[in-house]
């Protein structure tokens, strides 16, 4: 389980909001090059947003058995449903100019008949214990909790791509411990008990909000489901360099259709 999945990203066009084009200077004559495919390479003020287009899925029941060998009778959830980890990814990169990314968002929408979200990583946190890296313990029923310093961890781990990993545990009610890097510890995550989930990252001080961010969703699905189809979209709040006081423009990508194989 040492081979790390390849983090596959797709470049998406950023679209202006209904109010109008606030991110373009009156003196700027170019928005950046369009791709031959119809605009997928359009950048806003030199900023590009990419979305993960090849999500990684991990079956929690199988991960539990790797660390424990036998399923206890009390975990009936594994009989009625299947629990899966689904990874999502979003990134922002500045290819030119000096615009500032004031916030970066990501949302995923599933069919409510197929998926129910149990928990989200990273969770909502505001500059407290959540710093440059996040660690959370994953319970046997898909819930995420603060790390237990007394937890026994095994020398076994599964890689989720983008530097995120899950180190397995032999504790009865715990699958293992998550760890992943964060663009910022200022995170808002919503979507538990729903089929739609969303993350919103804001900068912590002067640290640029640029680079890859991996997010993990634990979900309940019906037994025998072999593929999940959903759509994703990215958001960015960009402040152009020529506005020095207050103007930041909310931008979003088009929806991206994604398939995730459950194997």
Per-residue pLDDT of the chain (263 residues; tens, 9 = 90+): 546 666 677 777 666 555 444 444 443 333 333 333 332 223 566 788 889 888 889 988 888 888 876 666 655 556 678 889 999 999 888 887 777 888 999 999 999 999 999 999 888 875 554 455 678 888 887 888 888 888 888 998 888 877 788 899 988 888 889 888 887 778 899 999 999 999 999 888 777 888 888 899 999 999 889 999 999 999 888 887 665 555 677 888 889 999 999 97
Of 118, 116, 111, 120, the C-alpha closest to 257 is 111
Name the pTM for this structure. 0.79
H or E segment to which residue 24 belongs: none
What is the pLDDT, as a whole number, of residue 198? 95
What is the pLDDT, as a whole number, of residue 43? 52
Spell out a b/e string for 38-61, using b for 16 or more CB atoms within 10 Å of the CB, else e: eeebbbbbbbbbbbbbbbbbbbbb
What is the pLDDT, as a whole number, of residue 117? 93
User: For the chain, where are the alpha helices, taking DSSP H only?
Assistant: 60-68, 77-80
What is the pLDDT, as a whole number, of residue 183? 77
Structure tokens at 195: 């089929």
Q: What is the rounded distance in angstroms from the CA atom of residue 85 to the CA atom of residue 135?
A: 16
What is the pLDDT, as a whole number, of residue 129? 45
Q: What is the rounded distance in angstroms from the CA atom of residue 10 to the CA atom of residue 15?
A: 16
What is the pLDDT, as a whole number, of residue 199? 95
What is the pLDDT, as a whole number, of residue 15? 66
Question: Which residue has tokens 């020095």?
Answer: 244
């Amino acid at each position: 389980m040492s081979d790390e999945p390849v983090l596959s990203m797709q470049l998406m066009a950023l679209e202006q909001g209904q109010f109008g084009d606030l991110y373009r200077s009156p003196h700027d004559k170019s928005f950046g090059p369009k791709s031959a495919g119809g605009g997928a390479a359009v950048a806003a003020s030199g900023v590009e947003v990419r979305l993960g287009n090849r999500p990684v899925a991990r079956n929690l029941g199988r991960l539990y058995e790797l660390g424990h060998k036998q399923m206890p009778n009390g975990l009936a959830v594994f009989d009625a449903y299947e629990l899966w980890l689904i990874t999502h990814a979003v990134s922002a990169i500045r290819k030119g100019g000096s615009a500032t990314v004031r916030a970066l968002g990501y949302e995923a929408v599933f069919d409510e008949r197929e998926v129910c979200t149990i928990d989200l990583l990273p969770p909502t946190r505001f500059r407290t214990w959540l710093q440059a890296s996040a660690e959370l313990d994953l319970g046997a029923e898909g819930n995420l909790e603060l790390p237990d310093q007394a937890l026994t961890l095994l020398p076994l781990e599964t890689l989720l791509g983008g530097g995120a990993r899950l180190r397995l545990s032999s504790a009865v009610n715990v699958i293992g411990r998550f760890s992943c890097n964060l663009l910022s510890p200022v995170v808002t995550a919503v979507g538990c008990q729903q089929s739609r989930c969303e993350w919103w990252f804001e900068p912590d001080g002067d640290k640029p909000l640029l680079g890859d961010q991996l997010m993990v969703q634990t979900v309940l699905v019906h037994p025998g489901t072999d593929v999940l189809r959903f759509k994703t979209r990215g958001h960015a709040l960009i402040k152009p360099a020529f506005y020095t006081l207050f103007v930041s423009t909310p931008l979003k990508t088009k929806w991206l259709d994604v398939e995730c194989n459950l194997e």
